[in-house]
Amino acid sequence: MTGEQSLGGNLNDAVHVGGTVRRRAGPWTPAVHALLRFLDQAGFEAPRVVGMDERGREVLEYIDGEAYAGDPVPLPDAVFRDDHMAGAASLLRRYHDVVARFVAPADARWRLVGPEPHELICHNDWSPWNALFREGRLAVMLDWDLAGPGPRLWDIANAAYAWAPLISSARAVPGIDERARRLRLFCDAYGLSDRSGLIAALRARLMYVGSFIDEQARLGDPGMMKLVGWDTPRKMFVDDVGYLDKHRALLERALA
Whether the pLDDT of residue 170 is over 90: the answer is no
Q: Give Cα 224 to chain centroid, integer Å.
A: 15
3-state SS class at 23: strand
Handedness of CA 169, 89, 105, 22 (dihedral sign): negative
CA separation for the pair 70, 58 (Å, rounded)? 22
pLDDT in tens, 218-242: 999 988 999 999 899 999 999 999 9
* Range with lowest mean pLDDT among 51-60, 67-76, 195-204: 67-76
Whether the pLDDT of residue 72 is over 80: the answer is no
Comparison of pLDDT for 31 and 129, the residue scoring more? 31
Tell me what the mean pLDDT of segment 23-49 comes to.
Answer: 97
pLDDT > 70 in the chain, percent: 95
Which pLDDT score is estimated for 142? 96
Residue pair 167/146 in contact by the 8 Å Cβ criterion: no
Look up the pTM and report it.
0.93
Whether the pLDDT of residue 53 is over 90: the answer is yes
pLDDT in tens, 101-118: 999 999 999 999 999 999
The candidate with the shortest Cα–Cα distance to 39, out of 91, 4, 88, is 91
Please state, rounded to an integer, the average pLDDT across all residues of the chain.
93
